[in-house]
Amino acid sequence: MLSSPKSSLGNYAVVARGVKKAFGHHQVLNGVDLTVDYGKVCCILGPSGSGKSTFLRCMNHLEKLNGGLLQVGGELVGYRQHAGKLYEMKKSEVARQRADIGMVFQSFNLFPHMTVLQNIIEAPIHVRMINKAQAIERAMDLLSKVGLSDKANAYPRTLSGGQQQRVAIARALAMKPKLMLFDEPTSALDPELVGEVLQVMRQLAAEGMTMIVVTHELGFAREVCDKVVFMDGGVVVEEGSPQELFNNTKTVRAKAFLGKVL
Ligand code: ADP
Ligand code: MG
């Protein structure tokens, strides 16, 4: 699924080294270090305000770093390296990088005035320049994959939250991303709709998609994730396999957090 070019930061799908981000005087990310292997799923847990969403947004260049480096698929995010120096990328290059990263938010963010099908084909046609017939064919395949073939012509407002989120996942996949970022994708859903979204994500993981998932669904983290990361105060406090993080928690802060949510 992913090519894996060599680079100085190592051969990983995602590398964060000392990633810092401040909003004014508020230092939100204080040096995040993380690696994710190609084809693996990394779950990020942590209390509200610990910087999880900001970190995902940095990965997609929706926020600009104040320090450190981020690399996705062997390429620095937002910078080009030339003769040992870093240069900021042009807007068009940033857009090209962003197109390779799919992002799914808690709040679905579908275009309300477009049908499900129109939502899915919009970016492939206008960003990837794929012809409409091909875009529709791929969209229908994706709708079938997420179990919504019969909703192609429906408008988002007529769908349940779980259905809307599955459309949002199909829309992200339509761009053939190298990496999928999920920011609490089931947090806004009624409990009985959570399972259908997690099932789609489980299937994606099984197909070898590289994924970073911010979630409070510990069952999913345990079962699907290769690596679980606990963030607090803008840093990675602890990381390990699900087994290590849940059954052999090392740090006081992770223990306290898991004690509250388990
Ligand atoms: P989490 O996703 O872990 O709950 P966030 O990354 O959303 O945490 O937020 C971390 C901190 O950064 C919070 O204190 C939040 O208020 C602050 N923050 C996030 N985005 C902005 C912004 N655009 N401007 C100012 N502060 C922000
Ligand atoms: Mg968040």
Nearest-CA residue for ligand 1 atom 13 is: 49
**Ligand with an atom nearest the CA of residue 51:** 1
Mean pLDDT along residues 27-37: 97
Q: Is the dihedral of CA 96, 128, 145, 2 positive or negative?
A: negative
**Ligand 1 pocket residues where CB is under 6 Å:** 23, 26, 28, 46, 48-54
pLDDT on residue 2: 39
Centre of ligand 1 from the C-alpha of residue 55, in Å: 10
Centre of ligand 2 from the C-alpha of residue 152, in Å: 30
Nearest-CA residue for ligand 1 atom 7 is: 53
Nearest to 242 by CA among 195, 207, 189, 205: 205
Report residue 121's pLDDT band, with 50, 70 and 90 as the boundaries. Answer: very high
pLDDT at 5 over 80: no
**Ligand with an atom nearest the CA of residue 49:** 1
Least confident window among 40-54, 56-70, 73-87, 228-242: 73-87
- Tens of pLDDT along 189-217? 999 999 999 999 999 999 999 999 999 99
Query: In angstroms, rounded to a whole number, what is the distance separating the alpha carbons of residues 42 and 35?
Result: 9
Q: Is the dihedral of CA 6, 10, 12, 16 positive or negative?
A: negative
**Ligand with an atom nearest the CA of residue 21:** 1
**Which atom of ligand 1 is least distant from the CA of 184?**
2
Centre of ligand 1 from the C-alpha of residue 8, in Å: 30
